[in-house]
Chains A and B, each alone.
Chain A
Amino acid sequence: MSKIKYFVQQSWLLIVASFCFGLLIAIANAHWSDEIEQNKIDKLNHLTAALLPKARHFIEIDTEIEVESAKGKKVKIKVYRAVSDADECVGWSFNAVGPGFADKIELVIAVDKDFKTIAGFDVLASNESPGTGDKIKEDKFRNQFKDIGAIKLELIKSGKAKDNEILAISGATISSEAVVKIINHYIKEVREAMQSKGLLGNDKEQ
C-alpha cells in the first residue's frame, strides 16, 4: 500500500498532465481532422487529374489490392479508377512508396486503362536534397515518364534515352534510381494483383 502511495505522490502530476495534454491533442485533432483529410484528398486529386487529363472523377475501387512493399512486406494500397465524363474508365492511379536518398519517397503513379502505358507520376512526399535530389519533382525529369510503355524501365546516367530508358538527374543518381525502382516495382505488383482479382480489361465489373 505504501508503495502505491509513494508512486501516486511522485507521479500524480505526470499522470494528470498526460491526461490533460492527451485530451488537448485529441480536441485539436478532432477539430482539424476534416481539413487535414480534405487536404490530402485535394492534393491527390489535383496531382492525378494533371496526369490523366481526360478523367473527371476518381473512384476508389472496393477490391482490396495487396502488394509487396520495397521491404518485402505485404501492404494494402488504394487504387483509384479514373472515370471520364462519359463514365468510361480512362486509367488507374495508385500511391507508391520506396526508399530515397534521404528519406522515403511517396509517389502517385497513373497508368492507362489497360496498364500498358504510364501516364506519368508525381511526388506526394519526399525529403531529397534541395538543388539535386528534389529535382525528381521537376517537369524535366517527370516528363520522361509520360506516355511510355509500362514495361521495366532502365536508368541511364548519360546519353540520349531510348524507349524504355530514363536519363538520371545529374548529381542525383540515387534519387533518380529510387524513383525508377519504385515505379517498376509497383507497376508490376499492382498489375499482377489487379489481374489476379479480374479487374483489368473488364471495366463493366467496376
Chain B
Amino acid sequence: MTKNSDTTAGIYKETLLAGLWRENPVFRLLLGMCPTLAVTAAVKPALTMGLCVIFVLLCSNIVVSLMRNLLKPHLRILMFTLTIATFVTIADLFLKAFALRMSETLGPYVPLIIVNCIIICRAEACASKNGLLVSFIDALGMGVGFTLTLCVLAGVREVLSTGAIWEISILPAGFVPWAAMRMPVGAFITLGLLLGLVNVLSRKKA
C-alpha cells in the first residue's frame, strides 16, 4: 500500500492502476486465457475483443454494484451470469450490425465472453462488495489492462507472421513471414515469453 491509498483519491488511483500492472488480468492473474490465445493473431481483432470486454465489464460491474445489497448468496453466480450474458449479447448484436467482418473474424469468441473469468471475478471480488464508483474504476482498469495486454501480444504475433502491424507493412520486403505465429503455437510461445518478461521486470522492481 502506498501513502496515497489511505485517501479516497488514492483508493481510486490504486484501483485503476491495479488492473494495468499489479493485478493485470492476463500477466498477473492469468485470467481470460481463451480470448488471449485465440484472437491475438492480429491487432484489429484483439482491440475489438478488448473493447467488447471493457463494455461488458463496465456494464456488469455497474449493475452488480447497484444490486449488491439485494443479492442472495446462493443466487449470486446466477445473477452475475445473467447480467454478463445480457451485455455480451448486446455487444454481439452491435458487432453483427455495424462490423460484420470483424464479427466473423472473432467468430464464437464474442459469445464466449460470457464465460470469461475476468468479468465474473470482478463481479464477485469487487462489484458485489463495493460502491458504484469503485466498481466502475475497477472495471475500467481491468478492461484497459486486458485490452493493452491483448494488443501487445497481437502486435508481436502480427509483425512476425505478416511483417505488418495494423495491416501496415513495417518490415523489409525480404522478411520471411513466420506462419506459425498465426497459429495457436505462436500464441502459446508469445504468451510464455511475455509472461517471462513480465516476471523478470516485476522481480527487478521488487
Seen from chain A, the residues whose Cβ lies within 8 Å of a Cβ on chain B are 10-11, 13-14, 17-18, 21, 24-25, 28-29, 32, 35-36, 39, 43, 103, 125, 127, 129-132
Take A39-B96, A129-B183 as given contacts and tell me if A14 and B78 are in contact as well, using a CB distance cutoff of 8 Å.
Answer: yes
Min Cβ gap B120→A in Å is: 16
Q: Mark B90-134, 1 if CB is under 8 A from A, else 0.
A: 100110111010001001100000000000000000000000000
Query: What's the Cα separation between A1 and B86 when bound, in Å?
Result: 33
CA distance A11 to B85 in the complex (A): 18
| B residues whose Cβ falls under 8 Å from a Cβ of A | 41, 67, 70-72, 75, 78-79, 82-83, 85-86, 89-90, 93-94, 96-98, 100, 104, 107-108, 179, 182-183
Closest 10 A-B residue pairs measured CB to CB? Answer: A32-B97, A35-B97, A21-B86, A39-B100, A28-B90, A131-B182, A36-B96, A36-B97, A130-B182, A13-B70
Tell whether, in the assembled complex, residue B86 and residue A24 are in contact, meaning their CB atoms are under 8 Å apart: yes
**Bound complex: CA A36 to CA B104 (Å):** 13
Using A18-B82, A24-B90, A29-B93 as known contacts, say yes or no to A13 and B98 having CB atoms under 8 A apart: no
Alpha-carbon distance between A39 and B99 when the two chains are bound, in angstroms: 9
Chain A contacts of B83 at CB under 8 A?
Answer: 17, 21
Known A-B contacts A10-B72, A13-B75, A130-B183; A25 and B67 likewise in contact (beta carbons under 8 Å)? no
Partner of A13, one of B72, B93, B96, B107: B72
Query: If the complex has contacts A13-B67, A14-B78, A21-B82, are A131 and B97 also in contact, measured as CB distance less than 8 A?
Result: no
Are A25 and B86 interface neighbours, CB within 8 A?
A: yes
Whether B182 contacts A17 by the Cβ 8 Å rule is: no
Q: Which residues of A contact B90 (CB under 8 A)?
A: 24-25, 28
Looking across the interface, which residue of chain A has its beta carbon closest to that of B98? A35
Supposing A21-B82, A32-B97, A131-B179 touch, asked if A13 and B71 sit within 8 A by C-beta, the answer is: yes
A127 to B104, CA, bound (A): 9
> Are A17's CB and B79's CB within 8 A?
yes
Q: Bound complex: CA of A103 vs CA of B109, how far in Å?
A: 13
Which residues of chain A have C-beta atoms less than 8 A from B104's C-beta?
Answer: 125
Looking at the assembled complex, report how far the CB atom of A50 sits from the nearest CB atom of chain B, in whole angstroms.
16
**Complex formed: what's the CA distance from A11 to B67 in Å?**
13
Given the complex, which residues of A lie within 8 Å of B79, measured CB to CB? 13-14, 17
Complex-state Cα separation, A103 to B85, whole angstroms = 23
A127 to B75, CA, bound (A): 35
When distances are taken between beta carbons in the complex, the residues of chain A under 8 Å from B182 are 130-131
Q: Which of A10, A24, A35, A131 contacts B75 (CB 8 A)?
A: A10
Residues of B close to A18: CB separation below 8 A: 82
